[in-house]
Amino acid sequence: MKKQVLGIVLSMIMMLSFTACGSEKETGPINSNDKKQETFVVESEPEIKEESEEEIKEEQPEESEEEAAARALEEAAEQAKAKYQEGLDYWFAINGREYDMEKARNAFQESADGGYADALCWLAVIARYSVDPDKWEKVADYVDQAVDEGSSLGLYYLGFYHQKGKGFEQDYAKAYDYYMQAADAGCLMGYVGLEELYRVGSGVEADGAKAIEYAEKAIDSDDWWTRNSARYAIGTVYLYGAEGIEKDFEKAKEWLLPSAEDEYVYAVQGMGTLYEVFMEGEDYLEKAFEWYEKAAEHGNMYSYGCNYAYGVTLEQDIPRAIEIFKESENGGRQANECLAYVAYLYYKGNGVEKDTDLAKEYALKAIDADSGATESPNYGTGLAKAILEKLGD
């Protein structure tokens, strides 16, 4: 009897023990051998990240006020430099941006406000291409300020505007000195300025070989604008010829083409001129138009519009020509020529209703848009003044 009771008790203990394992099974997984595995509470990713950031903060020494100020200045300088490049992108329509004079101006202004002195020089350039009778005073102010803030590019522009006699009194000796100062200060555009002095003989004896020699000093520049300006300058020597250098269109093309393919607008325009004026062949006018069309995408509208005005390579379309020319109504490269031609078309009534009031309006705008690209009044200004004279104004 005792054995039976003992057996029942043992059975009950075993049953209770088995039930307890079942309860445990509900709270945690067991493997195929019915062995209980430990369970872990996994922290969420944000919590882990928060802890790691706190650990990093604890490990890093606290930044002093001087260090924080220095870091802030460095970040501001980087932002100003980035805005400067953005301004160049919009002005030259490079790096995937479309030509936009206003966006370029805004970017350069932000860069200048951030302390990037070279940006002041480009604000002067944009002021130069504006439709504003008082622009040369603004140009001089921007350039003077750039030099005061230590810009070697400002020295180049002091040379440029003294050479042109715009914003500053024309003085070739000063232009030469400023170009040389710029080059000595590391701005290789100074050599490009010296190239032009020797190419055209401004204040120095004209010498095509010396012009090329100076430009060659800048062709390996890391700066996109300087490098392509130098290539374009040498191409121009061969395109038009210079003292001691005969015209050589193949050499001109050798220098202009790489710069044009690098989307330098003046070289793109130069390739159009090369094909239209100097080369011969059945398809050369078509090639010229292709280059002019590309130049228009980079902000040079005049030759592109003239193709429609004259019907050079396609059917004449005066209204389309006027539409293209009027894109320069608020300024921009070649605005002087474009607006003068609008005035001419209204004055003559060619392909558009004759309107002497509009002819006068656009002639005055053309004069205000004169960028001083040449040392004497350029074609646009000359045409505009002739129209005003015919109209009795």
pLDDT tens-digit profile of 349-384?
988 999 999 999 999 999 999 998 776 567 899 999
Read off the pLDDT of residues 214-260 as tens digits, 9 standing for 90 and up: 999 999 999 999 999 999 999 999 999 999 999 999 999 999 999 99
Q: Looking at the predicted structure, is the pLDDT value of residue 308 above 90?
A: yes
Paired tokens of 363: 């002639």
247 CB contacts (<8 Å, ≥6 apart)?
Answer: 238, 239, 240, 241, 278
Q: Distance (Å, rounded) from C-alpha 282 to C-alpha 55?
A: 75
Q: Judge whether 195 and 233 are in contact, CB under 8 Å.
A: yes
Residue of higher predicted confidence among 280 and 60:
280
Mean pLDDT of 41-48: 51
User: What count of other Cβ atoms lies within 10 Å of the Cβ of residue 348?
Assistant: 12
pLDDT of residue 299: 96
For residue 203, what pLDDT band results from cuts at 50, 70 and 90?
very high
pLDDT of residue 356: 96
pLDDT of residue 62: 80
Q: Looking at the predicted structure, is the pLDDT value of residue 180 above 90?
A: yes
For residue 39, what pLDDT band results from cuts at 50, 70 and 90?
very low
Residues 163-170: contacts with CB under 8 Å, at least 24 apart: 163/193, 163/196, 163/197, 163/202, 163/203, 163/375, 164/372, 164/374, 164/375, 165/372, 165/375, 166/128, 166/136, 166/139, 166/372, 167/124, 167/136, 167/137, 167/139, 167/140, 167/143, 168/140, 170/375
Q: Distance (Å, rounded) from C-alpha 154 to C-alpha 77?
A: 19
Residue type, 258: P
User: Residue ranges per domain, the chain?
Assistant: 312-393
Paired tokens of 383: 């045409």
pLDDT of residue 188: 98
Q: Looking at the predicted structure, is the pLDDT value of residue 341 above 60?
A: yes
Residue of higher predicted confidence among 21 and 122:
122
Give the residue among 302, 290, 295, 380 at the shortest CA–CA distance from 343. Answer: 380
Alpha carbons within 13 angstroms on the beta-carbon side of residue 298 total 22
Paired tokens of 187: 């701005």
Read off the pLDDT of residues 3-30 as tens digits, 9 standing for 90 and up: 343 343 334 333 333 333 333 333 333 3
Share of the chain above pLDDT 90, in %: 74
pLDDT of residue 280: 83
Q: Distance (Å, rounded) from C-alpha 15 to C-alpha 9?
A: 10
Q: Judge whether 238 and 252 are in contact, CB under 8 Å.
A: yes
Read off the pLDDT of residues 52-70 as tens digits, 9 standing for 90 and up: 656 655 566 787 878 777 7
Residue type, 261: E
Q: Judge whether 271 and 260 are in contact, CB under 8 Å.
A: yes
pLDDT of residue 374: 73
Average confidence score pLDDT of the chain: 87
Q: Distance (Å, rounded) from C-alpha 103 to C-alpha 241?
A: 37
Alpha carbons within 13 angstroms on the beta-carbon side of residue 303 total 28
User: CA 280 from chain center: how many Å?
Assistant: 34
Q: Looking at the predicted structure, is the pLDDT value of residue 47 above 60?
A: no
The residue to which tokens 């040498």 are assigned: 234
